């Protein structure tokens, strides 16, 4: 098991008379190699939650385990954890700083004390994994498009060869093409054995790419299940500021009008087959 | 009346190599002609780097044309003196709400613009009250901006614009960082301002569903304006949009695919309600 969270809570002022909790009594575990998405409105506790996984925040109460070791224990050394758990922040391209793409991606391995050859080898592997074009390795990262910059920033994290990659809103501000690129890259990374945890506001993206979805609301874990399970609760999701892919609404409407369609359909290809079956007579 | 008139606009950036020598030019906006009527709600689509933000930044003089002309309310933008008179008429909202809020309280933040314009103290309070009410943020007047959600922060930024009494709101992906409810609340506010106050809106977005609710959709590709029409007209051109790395709203795409398979559906379906109706009409 990659992660296990046991009854985790977090408050910025735990000693207050009535402390407010950013995360309240949350428990879940993540298997190695899973593609997990965390959704919830702004302020629901998603970002707090992922910071536990990287040891950036320590819960006020509860325990967090990584590969069976308790990382919330006294005296735990975080440096190893942060190498194995790569965290990609929102707008990671703001953190690019080197003069060339290759140097920027080498920065992580360099700080791990690896020799120059190994740094380069890792950087190149990482750039290939994000499908960054080889002829642009020597370009300044600042001359790249938004989507390219973001891929370089993700490569910088991958170059540390983490077991798990956590991405906070990796598609914000990208055009549809860029979004698709980043998400299918995540799927490929998962295919190579990396655990992928995605925090997202885009219901379409998580419905299509994640195997499992955690829904956070006011610091509590409201749902935990496969996309088809979670989007069944479309009314409850709207009640907490979320939504569902449009296909869910379409099917619900058709069902209401007496057609025999499944309750939850998450993508247009699947919807197409179902609708052709019914309407092409 | 045309509130914005752009004629043969060209904008070129100079590129520099590592030594700081000029190494060529990039044409970000390439011979664009565009008219926007007062009170219109116009959405601009285009992939990253297609020139849509560059185009919008000419309307309030944040960028100056390399060639061509830009008129706002019948006046030439590049020749406006002082330039801030243009920015009062056309306010701009950016992607990240945290980058545009400077006040320690919502009230203070909204007052910042008109205060800088020299609006007298007595009028200032009224303007802030009115702007907050139009943006639906009156209840948060004394709040600290830190305590607000993303959607609320964007509405504070919109109120800050409204306090300067603009005629045009230029919005550069104002919902890109928001959750679904934040997106909904910001768009609802903007549509209300457009409908009830007659404010012209230019909305740059990557969300096709947002563009579907506009009066008119403009598509940019490689610096050129390649489509200009109602959402229904533009989103009927599925193949062309795909060719310039764009998509259409999910339901438009589904309807298009079904039509390819022989179902007799109308072109340019925009949302699930329309698709449900069209499907039910088949039988």
Q: What is the pLDDT of residues A11-27, one digit of tens each?
A: 988 888 888 899 999 99
Which of A41, A176, A246 faces B247 most closely, judged by CB atoms? A176
Q: Which residue of B has its CA nearest to A238?
A: B181
Query: B244 pLDDT exceeds 80?
Result: yes
Per-residue confidence (pLDDT) for residue B21, from 0 to 100: 80
Mean pLDDT over the full length of chain A = 93
Task: Tell the CATH topology of B2-231.
Answer: Rossmann fold (3.40.50)
User: What is the pLDDT averaged over residues B227-252?
Assistant: 92
Taking residue A58's Cβ as centre, other Cβ atoms within 10 Å add up to: 15
pLDDT band for position B283 (50/70/90)?
Answer: low
- Whether B272 and A42 lie within 8 Å, measured CB to CB: no
Per-residue confidence (pLDDT) for residue A43, from 0 to 100: 81
Taking residue B281's Cβ as centre, other Cβ atoms within 10 Å add up to: 10
Better pLDDT: B102 or A225: A225
Mean pLDDT over the full length of chain B = 92
Per-residue confidence (pLDDT) for residue B57, from 0 to 100: 94
Per-residue confidence (pLDDT) for residue B147, from 0 to 100: 83
Better pLDDT: B54 or B244: B54
Query: B180 pLDDT exceeds 80?
Result: yes
Query: B176 pLDDT exceeds 90?
Result: no
B contacts of A47 (beta carbons < 8 Å):
none
Q: How close B246 gets to chain A, by Cα (Å)? A: 6
Per-residue confidence (pLDDT) for residue B18, from 0 to 100: 67
Measured between its terminal Cα atoms, the distance across chain B in Å is: 45
User: What is the pLDDT averaged over residues A123-132?
Assistant: 93
User: What is the pLDDT averaged over residues A101-118?
Assistant: 94
Percent of chain A with pLDDT over 90: 77
Q: What is the pLDDT of residues B183-201, one digit of tens each?
A: 998 999 999 999 999 999 9
Residues of A with CB under 8 A from a CB of B: 40-43, 90, 99, 140, 143, 145-147, 169, 172-179, 201, 203-204, 241-243, 245-247, 249-250, 253-254, 257, 268, 271-272, 275-276, 279-280
A contacts of B178 (beta carbons < 8 Å):
42, 201
pLDDT band for position B112 (50/70/90)?
Answer: very high
Per-residue confidence (pLDDT) for residue B138, from 0 to 100: 93
- Whether A272 and B206 lie within 8 Å, measured CB to CB: no
Per-residue confidence (pLDDT) for residue B101, from 0 to 100: 85
| Cα B24 from Cα B109, distance rounded (Å) | 41
Question: Could you give the dihedral angle defined by the CA atoms of residues A100, A106, A108 and A112, in that order, rounded to the nearest 10 degrees?
Answer: -150
Here the tokens at position A138 are: 């020597």
Closest CA to A189 of A129, A147, A132: A129
User: What is the pLDDT averaged over residues A187-216?
Assistant: 94
Per-residue confidence (pLDDT) for residue A143, from 0 to 100: 84
Better pLDDT: A162 or B268: A162
Per-residue confidence (pLDDT) for residue B65, from 0 to 100: 96
pLDDT band for position B99 (50/70/90)?
Answer: confident
User: What is the pLDDT averaged over residues B53-57?
Assistant: 94
What residues are paired with B10 via a beta bridge?
A: B30, B67
Beta strands in chain A, from DSSP E residues, in sequence order: 3-10, 23-30, 35-39, 61-66, 69-70, 85-88, 164-168, 195-199, 212-217, 220-225
User: What is the pLDDT averaged over residues B127-151?
Assistant: 91
User: What is the pLDDT averaged over residues B56-68?
Assistant: 95
User: What is the pLDDT averaged over residues B104-112?
Assistant: 94
Task: Break chain B into its structural domains and give their ranges.
Answer: 2-231
Percent of chain A with pLDDT over 70: 100
Per-residue confidence (pLDDT) for residue A124, from 0 to 100: 96
Q: What is the pLDDT of residues A232-281, one digit of tens each?
A: 999 999 999 899 999 999 999 999 999 999 989 998 999 999 999 999 87
For B36, what's the count of Cα atoms within 13 Å in the CB-facing half-sphere?
A: 32
Per-residue confidence (pLDDT) for residue A142, from 0 to 100: 87
Percent of chain B with pLDDT over 70: 99
Residues 6 or more apart whose CB falls under 8 angstroms from that of A279 comprise: B258, B263, B279, B282, B283
- Whether B261 and A43 lie within 8 Å, measured CB to CB: no
């Amino acid at each position: 098991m990659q992660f296990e969270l046991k009854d985790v809570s977090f408050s910025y002022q735990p000693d207050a008379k009535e402390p407010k909790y950013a995360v309240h009594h949350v428990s879940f575990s993540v298997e190695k190699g899973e593609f997990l998405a965390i959704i919830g409105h702004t302020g629901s506790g998603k970002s707090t939650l992922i910071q536990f996984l990287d040891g950036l925040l320590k819960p006020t109460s509860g325990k967090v385990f990584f590969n069976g070791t308790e990382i919330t224990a006294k005296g735990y050394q975080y440096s190893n954890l942060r190498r194995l758990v790569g965290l990609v922040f929102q707008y990671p391209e703001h953190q690019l700083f080197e003069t060339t793409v290759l140097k920027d991606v080498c920065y992580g391995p360099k700080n791990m004390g690896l020799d120059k050859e190994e740094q380069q080898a890792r950087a190149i592997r990482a750039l290939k994994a994000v499908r960054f074009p080889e002829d642009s390795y020597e370009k300044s990262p600042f001359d790249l498009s938004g989507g390219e910059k973001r891929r370089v920033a993700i490569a910088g994290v991958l170059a540390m060869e983490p077991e798990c990659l956590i991405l906070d809103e990796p598609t914000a501000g990208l055009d549809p093409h860029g979004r698709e690129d980043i998400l299918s890259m995540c799927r490929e990374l998962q295919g190579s054995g990396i655990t992928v945890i995605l925090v997202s506001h885009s219901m379409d993206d998580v419905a299509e790419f994640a195997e499992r979805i955690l829904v956070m609301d006011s610091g509590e874990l409201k749902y935990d299940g496969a996309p088809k399970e979670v989007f069944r609760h479309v009314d409850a999701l709207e009640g907490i500021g979320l939504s569902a892919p449009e296909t869910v609404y379409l099917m619900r409407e058709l069902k209401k009008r007496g057609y025999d369609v499944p309750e939850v359909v998450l993508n247009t290809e699947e919807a197409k087959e179902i609708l052709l079956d019914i309407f092409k007579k | 009346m045309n509130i914005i008139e752009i004629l043969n606009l060209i904008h070129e950036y100079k590129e520099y190599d590592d030594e700081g020598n000029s190494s060529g030019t990039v044409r970000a906006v390439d011979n664009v002609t565009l008219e926007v009527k007062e009170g219109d709600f116009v959405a601009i689509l285009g992939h990253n780097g297609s020139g849509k933000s560059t185009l919008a930044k000419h309307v309030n003089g944040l960028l100056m044309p390399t060639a061509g002309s830009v008129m706002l309310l019948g006046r030439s933008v590049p020749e406006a003196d002082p330039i801030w008179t243009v920015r009062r008429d056309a306010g701009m909202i950016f992607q990240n709400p945290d980058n545009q809020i400077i006040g320690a309280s919502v009230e203070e933040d909204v007052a910042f613009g008109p205060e800088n314009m020299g609006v007298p103290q007595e009028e200032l309070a009224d303007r802030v009250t009115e702007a907050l009410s139009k943006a639906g943020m009156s209840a948060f007047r004394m709040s600290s901006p830190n305590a607000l959600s993303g959607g609320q922060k964007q509405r504070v930024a919109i109120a800050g614009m409204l306090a300067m009494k603009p005629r045009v709101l230029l919005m550069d992906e104002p919902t890109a960082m928001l959750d679904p409810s934040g997106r909904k609340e910001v768009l609802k506010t903007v549509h209300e301002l457009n409908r009830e106050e007659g404010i012209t809106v230019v909305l740059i977005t990557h969300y096709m569903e947002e563009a579907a609710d506009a009066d008119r959709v403009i598509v940019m590709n490689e610096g050129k304006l390649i489509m200009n029409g109602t959402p229904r007209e533009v989103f009927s051109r599925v193949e062309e949009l795909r060719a310039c790395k764009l998509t259409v709203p999910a339901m438009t795409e589904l309807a298009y695919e079904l039509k390819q398979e022989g179902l007799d559906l109308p072109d340019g379906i925009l949302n699930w309600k329309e698709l449900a109706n069209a499907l039910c009409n088949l039988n």
